[in-house]
Amino acid sequence: MAVKPDATDALVLDDIRKSYFTYSGEVPVLKGVSFRVKRGEFLGIMGSSGSGKSTLLNTLGLLDTPTSGSYFLDGKEIGILSDKELTILRNRKIGFVFQSFHLFPHLTVRQNIEVPMIYAGVSRLRRHAMAAQMAEKVGLGHRLDHRPNQLSGGECQRVAVARSLVNRPTFILADEPTGNLDEKTGNEIMNLFHNLHKNGTTLVMVTHNPQYESEYDRVIYLRNGRVWRVIDNVNGTREEFET
């Protein structure tokens, strides 16, 4: 029987497989990845280079489609949606935070935060108000008219976090969000994520940094394209699987 999400699931992956095809044949990258992320959970995904972490990130973010398996986001099965429907879902249901910030250098803080709302068709007045509200939430209410080159790295990442929140997505997908920051600033960004988590935001963070292992509700480790270890910090359990 096919896996079905329930009301407590933000997203569900069931037997996700992804292969790429080259002149020499099929190259399997994800080899049957399955897990659920509950609403309000802070999940870490870790793995070394070549583990399938980046491919899983692209799958979660609807940037790539699996070769087989089922992915449910907010109760919707991704595999049956058109490209247009996927684009709308990506904009409205997923908030992205990247290692390199991906801010527009010619736009102000306010304008950078507004970008996802423009694609979602939000009115100008509403965009302005929401951008100011989210900037305040991440401690940048006084920086609305500044541009990225006038900000520190930590402030740029705060803008990216504010931008990820404006469409009230189902979950935030963060890709190495502290990777370009010094340790002190990285810890400040992690504290910001923890504050969002305490307020009910669902977070999925993809990282290679083991120092944050204890900070997640749960950590999924990938190896050779499969889940090989799951650490549950809430219940104090650890499982390992053959890969």
Residue positions counted in the chain: 243
- Look at residue 140 and tell me whether its pLDDT is greater than 80: yes
- Look at residue 221 and tell me whether its pLDDT is greater than 60: yes
Q: Which domains does the chain have, with CATH numbers?
A: 9-240 (3.40.50.300)
Q: Is 99 helix (H, G, I), strand (E, B) or coil?
A: coil
Cα–Cα nearest to 115, from 129, 125, 127, 105:
127
- Look at residue 55 and tell me whether its pLDDT is greater than 80: yes
pLDDT band at 66 (very low <50, low <70, confident <90, very high): very high
**What is the distance in angstroms between the CA of the first residue and the CA of the last residue of the chain?**
24
Tokens representing 138 are 């991440």
Distance CA 56, CA 69 (A): 13
pLDDT on residue 1: 42
For residues 201-215, give the mean pLDDT. 91
Mean pLDDT of the chain: 93
- Look at residue 99 and tell me whether its pLDDT is greater than 80: yes
Write out the DSSP string of 181-222: S-HHHHHHHHHHHHHHHHTT--EEEEE--GGGGGGSSEEEEE
For residues 22-44, give the mean pLDDT. 94
User: Which region, left, alpha or beta, applies to residue 102 given φ > 0 means left and ψ of -120 to 50 means alpha?
Assistant: left
Q: Is the pTM of this model over 0.95?
A: no
Q: How many CB atoms within 10 Å of residue 97?
A: 24
Tokens representing 33 are 């990845």
